[in-house]
């Protein structure tokens, strides 16, 4: 599921080139003397000890990995003109991965249709760079994880005797990858939260100038994460990532009880790119106008017909409809729908559309891509993966859970701390060779409306996110959640803003209905929640014209708006306040 997440400070990560000592409203971001030596030294010493001992144990460990994640986080949240919270903290998380058995069959092998455990055992660790204490913590966790892995392998070997295996189920449990070494400087943030405390007050106070606004929230987060990773294959990594984010949320309620939500976010890597007040206030004014208009907009009935999706909406459309179904681990899970498992080399999209996932890219046409990362969470460098070329499926997104025909990782093993890495999207980029201007695309929409004899078509202008079902026991369907939708009429009548619809459909049909695209890619940055937790992602795409798109009625509430207006917009409350 991809969404605009209003509570994401625990997860945002993005690489940055840090300018030492640079001061701005966001704070100071700088490189500091590298303390990696004591941390990596403790990790290496305990890895060597464990490999020597556990490779001779019964059962033998064939792979070990140690991860230490060091995170600094500053967060400031305001609501309705007041400060809600202002915090800063730092912590470390230690994980030890132990695999016993062999690359072909190990303790992680799935037994029958038993649900896998997606969480990853780990523990908090000292934030002191004390080699002896770190070694003791790693030693204790290594012993605990080996014992759990050895016990799990017994169950796997027993299960192998009584359960049938699919072809992909017979693929190796783990891929052998080449070792990589990179030790970069530690990154650090020092944020003065006071200016941000004042800013979130101002931003949310501006939302309250509208009587239609029931609630508003503004959250600023700054996060620096330093990742240290070693494994028994010889990989040694130490790198830092920094990300700043400002999130805006406003909520209203239509007269019929439907909740009206609008979101906006600003993401940046360098303090010099901090959005100024004028930029933020301009966005807030747009959000207020949209909320007020949506409150009064009519509901639209379920519909199937021509539709135009703007670039941001298209980006989420592809993320939900296609992206999750190309995650490699799903192709070997018998409980998955496996929509595209046997379709490598086949046409799955119109021949003018190509799709790749490129987490090596920091920006696209000057816009930041939130799904950038240098190495994935299994120690493999991120890679530019061409998934669909001229409509033909070429490969899948891969972590270190191999397939029979795709035996190696392509650097997409990702997770939120506390979860197991699996194949996930990074920066999903859709391109087209059949492009027209957005104005011409709109004209083509009107032509389709006339050809199909429809009273109107739809233009999907903005979205909150979406979700998809991929399990075999569920409908193989997706749902994208529009925020701003217009009826477009064939007779020249002005577009009409409407509300109350969700885009629905099934992937194999919906993907074939795309008939043309715009010529400008737009970026959606957000967070994707799946089995390995919530990870930062981006999707970029041009606008698309779909010959037939289905929408259904949005889930709604029957609660009416508040009986009284907000105090600031109630003449009687103002009069009483003035008289006191």
Residue range 139-164: mean pLDDT, rounded: 88
User: Is the bond preceding residue 59 a cis peptide, omega within 30 degrees?
Assistant: yes
Confidence of residue 503 (pLDDT cuts 50, 70, 90): confident
**How far apart, in whole angstroms, are the C-alpha atoms of residue 149 and residue 142?**
10
Determine the straight-line distance between the first and last CA of the chain, rounded to whole angstroms: 51
Label residue 111 by pLDDT band (50, 70, 90): confident
**Cα 452 to Cα 297: distance, rounded to the nearest angstrom:** 26
Strands (E), 146-258: 181-183, 186-190, 215-231, 236-253
Rg (CA), the chain: 26
Domains and CATH numbers, the chain: 2-296 (3.30.2290.10), 303-553 (no CATH)
**94 vs 484 pLDDT, higher one:** 94
pLDDT above 60: residue 287: yes
Q: How confident is the model at residue 555 (pLDDT cuts 50, 70, 90)?
A: confident
**CB-based contacts of 224: which residues, under 8 Å, 6+ apart?**
29, 71, 72, 187, 188, 189, 240, 241, 242
Residue 566's pLDDT band, with cuts at 50, 70 and 90, is: confident
Q: What's the mean per-residue pLDDT of the chain?
A: 88
Q: What is the pLDDT of residue 15?
A: 25
Task: Give tens-digit pLDDT for 341-368.
Answer: 889 999 999 999 999 999 999 999 989 9
pLDDT of 568 higher than 90:
no
pLDDT of 533-550, one tens digit each? 999 999 999 999 999 998
- pLDDT of 234-255, one tens digit each? 999 999 999 999 999 999 999 8
pLDDT on residue 472: 60
């Amino acid at each position: 599921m991809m969404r605009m997440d209003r509570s994401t400070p625990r997860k945002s990560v993005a690489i940055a080139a840090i300018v030492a000592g640079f001061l701005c409203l966001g704070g100071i971001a700088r490189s500091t003397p590298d303390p990696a030596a004591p941390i990596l030294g403790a990790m290496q010493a305990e890895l060597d000890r464990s490999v020597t001992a556990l490779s001779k144990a019964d059962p033998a460990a064939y792979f070990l990995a140690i991860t230490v994640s060091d995170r600094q986080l500053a967060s400031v949240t305001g609501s309705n003109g007041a400060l809600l919270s202002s915090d800063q903290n730092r912590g470390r998380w230690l994980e030890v991965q132990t695999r016993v058995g062999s690359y072909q069959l190990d303790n992680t092998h799935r037994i029958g249709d038993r649900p896998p455990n997606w969480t990853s055992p780990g523990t908090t660790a000292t934030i002191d760079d004390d080699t002896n204490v770190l070694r003791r913590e790693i030693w204790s966790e290594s012993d605990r994880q080996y014992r759990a892995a050895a016990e799990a392998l017994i169950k796997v070997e027993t299960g192998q005797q009584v359960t049938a295996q699919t072809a992909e189920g017979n693929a190796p449990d783990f891929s052998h990858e080449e070792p990589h070494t990179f030790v970069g400087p530690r990154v650090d943030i020092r944020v003065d939260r006071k200016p941000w405390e004042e800013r979130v007050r101002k931003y949310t106070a501006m939302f309250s100038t509208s009587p239609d606004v029931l609630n508003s929230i503004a959250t600023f987060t700054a996060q620096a994460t330093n990742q240290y990773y070693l494994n028994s294959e010889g990989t040694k990594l130490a790198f830092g990532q920094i990300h700043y984010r400002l999130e805006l949320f406003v909520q209203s309620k239509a007269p019929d009880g439907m909740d009206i939500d609008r979101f906006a976010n600003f993401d940046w890597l360098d303090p010099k790119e901090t959005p100024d007040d004028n930029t933020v206030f301009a966005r807030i004014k747009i959000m207020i106008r949209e909320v007020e208009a949506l409150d009064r907009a009519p509901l639209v009935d379920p519909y199937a017909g021509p539709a135009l999706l703007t670039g941001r909406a298209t980006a989420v459309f592809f993320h939900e409809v296609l992206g999750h179904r190309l995650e490699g681990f799903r192709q070997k899970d018998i409980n998955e729908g496996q929509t595209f498992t046997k379709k490598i080399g086949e046409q799955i999209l119109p021949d003018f559309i190509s799709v790749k996932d490129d987490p090596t890219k920091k920006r696209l046409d000057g816009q930041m891509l939130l799904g950038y990362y240098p190495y994935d969470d299994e120690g493999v460098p991120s890679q530019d993966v061409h998934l669909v070329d001229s409509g033909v499926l070429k490969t899948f997104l891969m972590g270190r859970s191999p397939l029979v025909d795709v035996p190696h990782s392509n650097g997409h093993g990702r997770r939120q701390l506390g979860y197991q890495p699996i194949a996930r999207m990074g920066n999903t980029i859709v391109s087209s060779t059949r492009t027209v201007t957005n104005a011409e695309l709109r004209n083509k929409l009107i032509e389709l409306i006339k050809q199909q004899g429809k009273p109107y078509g739809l233009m999907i202008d903005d979205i909150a996110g979406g979700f998809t079902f991929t399990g075999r026991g569920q409908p193989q369907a997706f749902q994208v959640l529009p925020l701003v939708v217009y009826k477009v009429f064939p007779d020249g009548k002005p577009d009409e803003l409407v509300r109350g619809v969700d885009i629905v459909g099934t992937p194999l049909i919906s993907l074939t209905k795309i008939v043309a695209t715009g010529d400008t890619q737009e970026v959606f940055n957000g967070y994707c929640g799946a089995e390995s937790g919530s990870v930062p992602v981006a999707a970029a795409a041009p606008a698309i014209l779909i010959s037939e798109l289905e929408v259904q009625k949005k889930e709604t509430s029957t609660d009416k708006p508040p009986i009284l207006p907000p105090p600031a917009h109630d003449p009687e409350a103002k009069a009483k306040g003035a008289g006191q």
